[in-house]
Structure 1
Amino acid sequence: MLAQVAFADLHTHTLASDGTGTPTDNVRLASEAGLSAVAVTDHDTVGGLEEALQAGAVYGVTVVPGVEISTMHEGIDIHVLGYWIDKDDPVLLSRLEQLRRVRDRRNEMIVERLRELGLDLTMDDVLQSLQTVKKQGDTIGRPHIADALVRKGYVGSMAEAFERYLGSGAAAFV
């Protein structure tokens, strides 16, 4: 008897962090791609998990509740994926909130550096287009700053924003 083969994507992001689709979109796309399972592993938040779990029941896709925790060691960014987490655990939620506050401060420092470089950009500019998609507990990061740089015409693309300003070693990297 042949074993049944199943495929999964165990590293996806939603609008709750720096993804481009809703949690439902991720699950629907996984279903359309023939995947049996998909993990939602947003950066430092579990904000998209409940919607993803509900969508999993609709689309017949197993949703692995996860998170991507950001940390640093000796100046190097480290991202740790956690699977089958308890999305309601108060200790986890508290630690994720702490990580988001650190990320928020880093974002402010990046914007300060961009202003020092002569770019007229504020955190309000970064948040402007996110108001309709971000909820309490969602993560804001460098891709959102890159998007603001594109919208304001300082760069032509997200890739250029990271190359010139936001990537490791770039002019405004924090």
Structure 2
Amino acid sequence: MNSVFNQFLNKGFKYNFQNGPDVITSEEQALEQGVNCIGLMHLLLKALFDVKLPRNLRVLEIYNENPYFKTIASIDNLEMGDILFLGKRELSDYISQYIPQYDENKQLTNENEGSTIIGDKHAGYHTVMYVGEKDSEGFPLVIDIEKITDAVKVHSLERLMENPRYEVLYKIKRPTV
């Protein structure tokens, strides 16, 4: 496994739902204040690929079409660093009401609309990142942080999806920058 993932596993990050990429700007700040799943994805992409995404690129902004990520059609085509979106079998209709829009400079132009629709910014999706390896049974290994474990962990995707909160894989996104 890439050493970056091991470093994140051993640092002692704690989960804080409110602390996404719009709040947390560094690993140091995340260690002090905690971080949510999409905030962790931003930190991992920066550490792995030196990709610094806009702070307002949260769960739904990454999930929907945007200039920073492309959709991967099949779990069979996973590459290290791909972000997977998991969720309950039935997610609320409000999630599909917000479609992020970008200008020619890749700047989000309707962030306020998204915040109004989403409210507390909780989209119902949980994000995990593929670490580039599989478990002994051939299932992808993913890294995440969640309230249940209150720590950064690596899980078998199959095991994680046994939890009804994460039972559906909705989309896979790969950074293009």
Higher helix share: 1
Select the structure that is richer in strand.
Answer: 2
TM-score by length of 1: 0.28
- Which of the two has higher C-alpha Rg? 1
